[in-house]
A and B are shown apart, each in its own frame.
Chain A
Amino acid sequence: MLLETHKVTKAFGGLKANSEIDFHIDEGEIVAIIGPNGSGKTTFYNVITGISSATSGQVVFKGKDITHMHPEKITELGMARTFQNIRLFGNLTVAENIVIARHCRRHTGIWDAVVNSKRQRDEIATNEEFVKKCLDYVGIYDKKDWIAKNLPYGMQRRLEIARVLATEPSLILLDEPAAGMNPHEKDELVEIILRLKSDNYSIILIEHAMRMVMNIAERVVVFDHGQKIAEGKPEEVKNDPVVIESYLGKGASGNGTA
């Protein structure tokens, strides 16, 4: 078991954005979380990545209780995420975005910088390696000197994935990575996600678009009103009356985007 949550609850005042959620993902698995708008999917990510901490319940990652751990420590442990509303370091270059993501794997300090120590020079070399490797992975190495915010939308989403890879994660959390993409970009994204899977990353994927989820997820978890209402193989979930009522019923085609 790579990640496990026990009765995780997150309350904002009276509103329970997450209510007693039991969730788990194994090594190498792809699990999708689906659910209508405002059902608490992003909140769940915020809680497990430490950006906001759970009101009650427990989050265990690689056997460690991370419920109240700081986000940077959780990243160091090997969990990394993308954001629903892209959060790149917009005024920096694409390559610099990757270099920053290397932070959690390096240990140089001010002194190394000032005397340009061996550690510092090693770091610069490996950074360059990672810039190449991670940007190649998502196919935007040729854009490495671009200012990140000038990239087309689809590439910004891909840069977020590259940046996640640069932290050398074992668990990747994607928050609606296909939002706002055209069909062609979506296909490319699916390709990247499948490649991640074959490279043995574990992935949690939040996605509105049912179709995409059905294609890549091995297991689907359904949220509604902060609760986990269903879980199972994609086909099972798709035909689950509870899900159809609460999710597909409202979302009509199931193709909606945020």
Chain B
Amino acid sequence: MNSLKMDFLSSDALISRSSMEKVSMIVERVKNGDLVVIEGGLSPEEEAELIETTMREIDIENFVGIDIYTLEKDKVSLFGLSKKKIVGLTIIGPANIMKTVKKKSNFISMIANIGDTGASMR
């Protein structure tokens, strides 16, 4: 089936979930072949857990893992003294379909390779 399902989740939809729930929700969808776009980012602990869960779920034949991309934005502090980058969007998808990704600091362009079921990435 040559189609790609994309799920967009607002930060509100995630805030009430535990890290474990978040991670398993993401992995479940991505393992299913879906692309998940999240408003905001994952915490370092969640990211580590996401990688760990992904590693457990890799089944060599069908699921080779995930790709994660983030789009950052400036967060200006209260008095505008320091500028810090925060994650605005997180894009997580199956590694074998996220083919070409162009990334600049404020721009991501992605070509999903949905025809190819065989996992072929670098």
User: Are A and B associated in one complex?
Assistant: no
